[in-house]
Amino acid sequence: MSGKKAVLEIKGLRTQFFLREGVVTALDGIDLTIYENESVGIVGETGCGKSMTAYSILRLVPHPGRITAGSIRYKGIELTTLDQDRMRSVRGTKISMIFQDASTALDPVFTVGDQLGEVISLHQRVYDKKALQKKVIEALMLVRIAAPEKVITMYPHELSGGMKQRVMIALALSCSPSMLIADEPTTALDVTIQGQILKLLKALVAKTGSSMMLITHNLGIVAETCDRICVMYAGRIVEDAETFELFERPSHPYTVGLLSAFPKLGVKQAELPVIRGTVPNLMKPFKGCSFVDRCDKAMEVCAHKRPPRVEVSPGHFVSCHLWSGGERPGGT
Ligand SMILES: Nc1ncnc2c1ncn2[C@@H]1O[C@H](COP(=O)(O)OP(=O)(O)O)[C@@H](O)[C@H]1O
Ligand SMILES: [Mg+2]
């Protein structure tokens, strides 16, 4: 990765929810850098902090949650302390987000043409009505919507799930963001449409030269779509490597467990397998490794000392005590 420019640099990010019952540490020291033109996948079980990572970057963490430590830099600009106006402009023009459910992002009372037109006129400064309509149609063609002239007059509820998702992608890309965050963008769609949308996303990201953070609990999707994969567990990134490397040499016992039911790259649509035990309660702070209770290889040190992040080979990072001594976990 050396020589590549970082678009997003996250260091020591902690996001917590302050509830009456106690403090939930949703993100517990996230370190993550995304470079130019790179697609990074974030995988992990439900509740491990994938969405909160995205919301923290965009400063959209819902109340009573907030960022309590760490730094998020976008091209050198610190986002955690940026004022609201500038943050809004980052959200509108630099970092776009695609949500799992398009219905939350599309306004039900405006037509597709109105919604896309508003964003395009704002960002590309097109005000002439004819010119704007042409741009809107182009944006819909880019996401391969058939009969765009008809679709611009339609309301969100008149569109299928796949079409809504395409419109949302068109909206997200119409401001030419340098970073696209897609949070489970295809989970609500059927498998065939999922594949089409992911292919489209991948092609558009390559074409526009933006970086992508793709969040999913589906290993098959990141394997096919992303250059690099971060594996999250209980609010932490436990392993981070290029896709091929991660599948060839998974090094954290949690990743090894995830991949054991997923032997080959290229196997489609594999959901995460079930690993014994359950995700820990994030209201209890961990002194040591968050995976200790579910790990077959746990040692004494794992319960009381947080494993350091070790670079086991160039660009391949693992946070596990098995690696602190430089030894590869055996037997898998
Ligand atoms: N509104 C909330 N109130 C309290 N805790 C929350 C809230 N939203 C998220 N969390 C906590 O943050 C954790 C991470 O959530 P999230 O990032 O949405 O998980 P994921 O997207 O990986 O499924 C959850 O396990 C939960 O403990
Ligand atoms: Mg989520």
Whole-model pTM: value is 0.91
Question: In ligand 1, which atom is closest to the CA atom of 184?
Answer: 21
Distance from C-alpha of 281 to C-alpha of 209, rounded to nearest angstrom:
39
- Cis omega (within 30 of 0) on the bond before 64? yes
Question: Could you tell me the mean pLDDT of each successive run of 10 residues in the chain, 332 residues long?
Answer: 84 97 96 96 93 96 97 97 95 89 85 94 87 94 92 95 90 90 86 84 89 91 93 97 95 91 54 68 88 93 94 95 70 41
Per-residue model confidence (pLDDT) at position 105? 81
Which atom of ligand 1 is closest in space to residue 44's alpha carbon? 22
Atom of ligand 1 at shortest range from CA of 19: 4
Burial class (CB in 10 A: 0-12, 13-18, 19+), 300: exposed
The encoded tokens of residue 67 equal: 């960022």
CATH class, 6-94+177-324 region: alpha beta
Closest ligand by atom to 100 CA = 2
Strand partners, 69: 14
Asked whether 181 lines ligand 1 (CB < 6 A), one says no
Place of tokens 């292919």: 199
Structure tokens at 266: 């290229």
Residue 47 Cβ inside 6 Å of ligand 1? The answer reads: yes
Of 23, 52, 232, which is best to mutate to test ligand 1, by the most ligand atoms within 8 angstroms of its C-beta? 52
Tell me if 178 sits within 8 A of 232, measured CB to CB: no
Contact 143, 149 (CB under 8 A): no
Report which secondary-structure segment, H or E, holds 309: strand 309-313
